[in-house]
Amino acid sequence: MLNRIRQSIVYRIGILMLLTVLVALSSMVASYVISDAAENDAAAVNLAGSLRAMSYRLSATAPSGDIAATRALENEVTERLQRVLSISDFSASDNLRAAHNYRKVMDSWEEEIRPLLESITSGRSSMDSLQLATRLEPFIYDVDTLVFDYQTIAEEKISLLRLVQLGSLFAIVVLVYLSLYILHRSVEQPLKQLTNRSLSIAQGNFKQNRLEIDSDDELGVLARTINYMSDEIHATHRDLAHRVELKTAQLQKSHKALDFQYRLARRISEGPLTGAELGQWLGEFANVADISNLDLCLMTPEGELPYEHLVQGLGNALCHSSECRTCVSTCGPSDEEQQRVYRFPLEVDKRNYGVLTCTLPRGESLNDEQQQRLATFADSVTAAIAINEREAQERRVALLDERAIIARELHDSLAQSLSYLKIQVTRLNRTNRSEQVDKTKVKEIITELKEGLDSSYRQLRELLTTFRLQIGPGGLRNILEQSILAYREQHPQITILLDYQLDEVPLSPHEEIHLLQLVREASQNAVYHSQGDMVQIGMTQTDNHSVSVHIRDNGIGISSSPEKRNHFGMSIMQERASNLNGKLHICRREEGGTEVQFSFVPQYARERELVWRDAV
């Protein structure tokens, strides 16, 4: 019961309300009982008081000799005495003072007063009114005493009723005060603290203003729960804030690392890295990755010793005593004497270009993120070296291709002309060694020699012009227009027209070079050998994305059996057409002249067609 009261505000307030109701009900019941008991007290007082008046009337009636009136008064007194007993809340045999005085009055009446009155009325005794009144004085005194007793009883009941009501009022006031006190202390103050604490929590304050409610009731349990919840949330927020700080720091480091990798990748794409630049990048990487004691050894794939050894920090103290090939071939962490060494070989396509080494004291190690950053930096350096080597190889290949082109051009032009001149010189020698020199034949040979020399010189100038050509920002169209402008200046009698419709076609540099050389070769043949006055050059793209090129002239037309020097350079153009995987067709025009037709599919169209096929 006590535990229940201590642990529950509702039960506690309910008990107080029940006690208040019980006190009020008890007061009402007691008041009802007391008022019910005092209902006949006034009648008893009146009846007892009327006995005195009747006693005085008897003292006047009995001596007069009026027997009927006297007997009527006697019966009335007897009846009233009995009625007094009937309305009293005690019996005649009780030990109460009022019951004793009633018996005394009743005995005095039955044993003394009534027999005396009967004796007087019957004439046996003679007594006047004064004497009878004197004789009735004790009886009247006893009646007064009885009246006083009834009055006292009534007053006692009223006092008791007043006391009950005052006690009930006091008890109710006390219970109401206790209820208000308990509500104030156990409900109002805790609720106020809970409300203020809830507002603080709503504002994000989970640590300050802890609830100091030390009770076992519902509000105490709620306060402890809120305190525990606030502590947990505060701890969670603190942990989350710490995690956010750590994650922010990690993100900042990652951002710096990504920015470093981006700048390094952009620098690698711009051109080859020198040793001094690699040293600067190595130092910046050490700061970004928070790693010291780095060694970057660069080697040729065929070499045994590094041609470049870059050190950041103290480096590897045992580097001088280790074999470079062993260091390069070792990957991952290893313990060597009093230090721990991490090695990341610079290797791509089974070609090794060196090693990146990180040295730590014995017992320390790199975390996964640092190892990943070291591996990424090593890959970037490897990519830079590989790109440099690939570009150098491409330059070598391009140089060899260019030399092969020059050799082919020289062979197809100057070499053939020189061979022709050599034949003419041989003819001239034979003619001179004969006994009879044919001056006409010698003159003819000299003329052919002069023409051959002029043709060779012209071809040499054209070759020099061709070798000096560069496709600038204007692309293929610009260089074609420049070439046509040069032809017009050299041969103003020939009209050269260009219809270029490939502005929307993304040609590769390889395709532009071969297409330019093919158009120039066909145009030269038309200008120098067609004997016409108009050359039309057209370049368009067909519906199947292939590029179509035609060079037309209005000259004498191609011969069915080309001459020995191959003026139209058919073999050269055929070779260029095969380099572009295209089809070349040279024919005589019905309206006169020659037409060179060439068509091929550009690389971008072939790649898109492959993508579409894979998708299907």
Q: Which residues pair with 513 in a beta bridge?
A: none
177, two tokens:
């005060």
The per-residue DSSP string of 365-394 comes to: ---HHHHHHHHHHHHHHHHHHHHHHHHHHH
Q: What are φ and ψ of residue 344, in 5° steps?
A: -130, 100
Q: Which of 240, 185, 173 is nearest to 214 (CA)?
A: 185
Q: Which of 581, 501, 575 is nearest to 537 (CA)?
A: 501
Element (H, E) at 352: strand 351-361
Q: How does the average pLDDT of the chain come out, rounded? A: 79
Average pLDDT over residues 581-595: 88
Q: Which of 488, 481, 493, 551 is nearest to 523 (CA)?
A: 551
Q: Are 497 and 534 in contact (CB under 8 A)?
A: yes
Q: Indicate the range of 125-134, 168-177, 329-338, 398-407 predicted with least confidence.
A: 398-407
d(CA 442, CA 451): 14
Q: Indicate the range of 95-99, 320-324, 356-360 predicted with least confidence.
A: 320-324
Q: Please check the confidence at residue 267 and state whether its pLDDT lies above 80.
A: yes
Q: Which of 45, 228, 255 is nearest to 144 (CA)?
A: 45
The dihedral built from the CA positions of residue 138, 142, 143 and 147, taken in this order, carries a sign that is positive
Q: Are 553 and 526 in contact (CB under 8 A)?
A: yes
Average pLDDT over residues 465-480: 69
Average pLDDT over residues 433-453: 76
d(CA 107, CA 100): 10
Q: Which amino acid is at 273?
A: L
d(CA 167, CA 164): 5
Q: Please check the confidence at residue 412 and state whether its pLDDT lies above 70.
A: no
The dihedral built from the CA positions of residue 154, 160, 161 and 166, taken in this order, carries a sign that is positive
Provide the Cα torsion 149, 150, 156, 158; round to 10°. Answer: -160
Average pLDDT over residues 219-231: 78
d(CA 341, CA 333): 5
Helices (H), 299-367: 324-329
Give the pLDDT confidence of 69-81 residue by residue, as tens digits: 878 887 888 887 7
Give the pLDDT confidence of 103-134 residue by residue, as tens digits: 787 778 778 877 877 777 777 777 777 877 77
pLDDT at 565: 40
d(CA 347, CA 421): 57
Q: How confident is the model at residue 539 (pLDDT cuts 50, 70, 90)?
A: very high
Q: How deeply is 270 buried, as exposed, middle or buried, from its count of CB atoms within 10 A (0-12, 13-18, 19+)?
A: exposed
Three-class DSSP category at 436: coil
d(CA 290, CA 277): 20
Q: How confident is the model at residue 419 (pLDDT cuts 50, 70, 90)?
A: confident
The DSSP call for residue 274 is P
Q: Which of 116, 98, 103, 214 is nearest to 157 (CA)?
A: 98
Three-class DSSP category at 367: coil
Q: Which amino acid is at 40?
A: N
Element (H, E) at 416: helix 416-433
Share of the chain above pLDDT 70, in %: 85
Distances (CA, A) of 256 to 206, 226, 282, 305: 36, 43, 14, 34
Average pLDDT over residues 260-286: 82
162, two tokens:
């007043």
Give the pLDDT confidence of 139-193 residue by residue, as tens digits: 777 778 877 877 787 788 788 888 888 988 898 888 888 888 888 877 777 788 7
pLDDT at 596: 92
Q: Please check the confidence at residue 241 and state whether its pLDDT lies above 70.
A: yes
54, two tokens:
């009747």
Q: Which amino acid is at 322?
A: S
Edge to edge, the sheet with strand 332-336 lists 308-312, 294-298, 351-361, 339-348, 332-336
Q: What are φ and ψ of residue 340, in 5° steps?
A: -115, 125
Q: Which amino acid is at 240?
A: L
Average pLDDT over residues 247-259: 85
Q: Please check the confidence at residue 616 and state whether its pLDDT lies above 60.
A: no
Q: Please check the confidence at residue 536 and state whether its pLDDT lies above 90.
A: yes
Q: Indicate the range of 27-31, 329-333, 442-446 predicted with least confidence.
A: 329-333
Q: Please check the confidence at residue 334 and state whether its pLDDT lies above 90.
A: no
d(CA 434, CA 181): 155
Q: Please check the confidence at residue 550 and state whether its pLDDT lies above 90.
A: yes
pLDDT at 296: 85
d(CA 420, CA 564): 10
Three-class DSSP category at 134: helix
Q: How confident is the model at residue 564 (pLDDT cuts 50, 70, 90)?
A: very low
d(CA 568, CA 559): 10
Q: Which amino acid is at 278?
A: L
d(CA 377, CA 139): 138
Q: Indicate the range of 247-256, 310-319, 334-343 predicted with least confidence.
A: 310-319
Q: How confident is the model at residue 468 (pLDDT cuts 50, 70, 90)?
A: low
Residue scoring higher pLDDT (365 or 403): 365
Average pLDDT over residues 316-343: 72
Q: How confident is the model at residue 567 (pLDDT cuts 50, 70, 90)?
A: very low
Three-class DSSP category at 541: strand
Q: Which residues pair with 356 in a beta bridge?
A: 296, 344
Three-class DSSP category at 507: coil
Q: How confident is the model at residue 597 (pLDDT cuts 50, 70, 90)?
A: very high
Q: How confident is the model at residue 566 (pLDDT cuts 50, 70, 90)?
A: very low
Q: Which of 333, 344, 329 is nearest to 382 (CA)?
A: 344
pLDDT at 7: 67
Give the pLDDT confidence of 296-319 residue by residue, as tens digits: 888 877 767 777 888 888 777 667
Q: Which residues pair with 588 in a beta bridge?
A: 594
Q: Which residues contact 64 (CB under 8 A, 6 or more apart)?
A: 129
pLDDT at 540: 92
Q: Which residues pair with 335 in a beta bridge?
A: 340
pLDDT at 535: 92
E runs forming strands in 64-170: none
